Amino acid sequence: MIKPISISVKAKSHTNQYKMHKYFARRPYNVFQNLIKHYTKENDLVLDVFCGGGVTVFESVAMNRRSIGVDLNPLATFISKMQLKKVNISTLKVLGNSFINNLEQELSRYYEYNYNCIDYKIEWIEWTYEVSCPLCSTTIRLAEHNKVVSPNGKPKNGYYCCPNQLCGGHDRRTGVKRTDCKSIGSHPLRVKISNGEETVVIDLSDEEASFIKSQRYTHLIEESMVIPDDEIPLNWDRTHEDKLIEKGVYRFSDLYTERNFILNVIIFNRILALKGQIDNDIVDCIYFAFSSSLRYTNKMSRVTENWENGNPTSMDKHAYWLPNVYIEANVIEKFKDRFNVILKGLTYTNEKIPFGSNLISVKESINVCHIGSLNASILHLR
Ligand SMILES: C[S@@+](CC[C@H](N)C(=O)[O-])C[C@H]1O[C@@H](n2cnc3c(N)ncnc32)[C@H](O)[C@@H]1O
Ligand SMILES: [Zn+2]
């Protein structure tokens, strides 16, 4: 019998390979290292049947154990596999940067912004939802400054004042309830732009906001493109708890602005077109960067004064939590950022993993009886 662990281990923050892609509920690596070291010896087989973000699998292999990871969620096994990907970093850097340059040439024009006759690049646009007042049908913007004020002087979540002075919902102390209002669209409030020399955040005039709202992107879709259009299952606990139907979100695509959805579709299709053109492992890495960027380019991002020095925080809840004031981030910039994080993460993997020892197998749960051969398909993740 092995004695139980008698010391406590203080959790350390994630190392670079775990920063490549978000997975909720990833465990601290050093706690797992300690468990593996205590309960197993070199060449033992470590099985994690709920492998999630792949910490057990990675740490086992890094300590010369064999390891099997299984998970119901194909995103979990995709991430776990990618964290253990052996790849030539210089080749990845060259091919990834060339892919990014092509994307920039094709798509960066959709984030151009002219301010005081100078060309800038949009980093993000801040939008607020617009709803119709249930009492008088006037448009209400769900911006912070329109919130009802509680007796303690603080803004009251979920209640907004109608701008129509003749409406019963105009009262600053009562307003109207957000869930009683019909959603009608979104309105841009601010834009963050940069041109290499300066970065500014501008409050948009009505005229500038109308121009931004009038831009359409559906004509960029080509007939041959694969368009992910999955519906969010109605019977999911999160669909219910996050009030997605009430907020007009029926499909995953509804979590994006039109521009960001369509530009993401184009990037996705450009990655699919790489298959067969360049090494499959490199395609997987580029796809991994893209998948990792999606968290930052949907409507679950927001900017708050007190967080991240005014930079957006993105999908930070284990839920489809849609803030009433959200950020539309530049998808090309986010893809670039994530690609650089992937380069760092895989460099770490290369240093830590004794490749060649053939110890790794990460499979989807449904294929568990076939454990033994790697069968990664980049289309497992949708
Ligand atoms: C807390 S996470 C695991 C964390 C992981 N051990 C680590 O070290 O980071 C739990 C995982 O269990 C998976 N899961 C839940 N039910 C499952 C099932 N019946 N079969 C396989 N995996 C399952 C979930 O998809 C999730 O990824
Ligand atoms: Zn009203």
Percent of the chain with pLDDT over 90: 69
Angle at 127 between CA 122 and CA 133, to 5 degrees: 160
Helix, strand, coil percent values for the chain (each to nearest 5): 40, 20, 40
pLDDT of 375: 37
- Residue 263 CA to residue 351 CA, distance in Å, equals 35
Candidate of 51, 364, 369, 381 to mutate for ligand 1, largest count of ligand atoms within 8 Å of Cβ: 51
Q: Give the pLDDT mean for 45-61.
A: 91
Q: How far is CA 378 from CA 172, 175, 265, 354, in A?
A: 52, 49, 15, 24
Q: How far is the CA of 175 from the centre of ligand 2 (A)?
A: 8
- Which residue's CA is minimally distant from atom 25 of ligand 1? 73
The bound ligand whose nearest atom lies closest to the alpha carbon of 28 is 1
- Tell me whether strands 118-132 and 139-141 are parallel, antiparallel or unpaired: antiparallel
CATH homologous superfamily, domain 16-84+353-380: Vaccinia Virus protein VP39 (3.40.50.150)
CB 296 within 8 A of CB 329: yes
- Residue 251 CA to residue 253 CA, distance in Å, equals 5
- Sign, CA dihedral 358-364-369-373, equals negative
Domain ranges of the chain: 16-84+353-380, 89-133+181-345
Q: Give the pLDDT mean for 157-171.
A: 95
Query: What would the DSSP string read from start to end of 181-197?
Result: SEEEEEEEEEEEEE-SS
Q: Name the pLDDT band for 343 (thresholds 50, 70, 90).
A: very high
- Ligand 1 site, CB within 6 A: 25-27, 32, 48, 50-53, 55-56, 70-73, 76, 365
CB 192 within 8 A of CB 201: yes
pTM for the full predicted model: 0.90
The model's pLDDT over 196-216, given as tens digits with 9 standing for 90+, comes to: 899 999 999 999 999 999 999
What's the N-to-C CA distance of the chain in angstroms?
A: 45
pLDDT of 368: 54
The bound ligand whose nearest atom lies closest to the alpha carbon of 50 is 1
The residue assigned the tokens 């039109």 is: 258
Task: Retrieve residue 158's tokens.
Answer: 């979920």
pLDDT of 257: 96
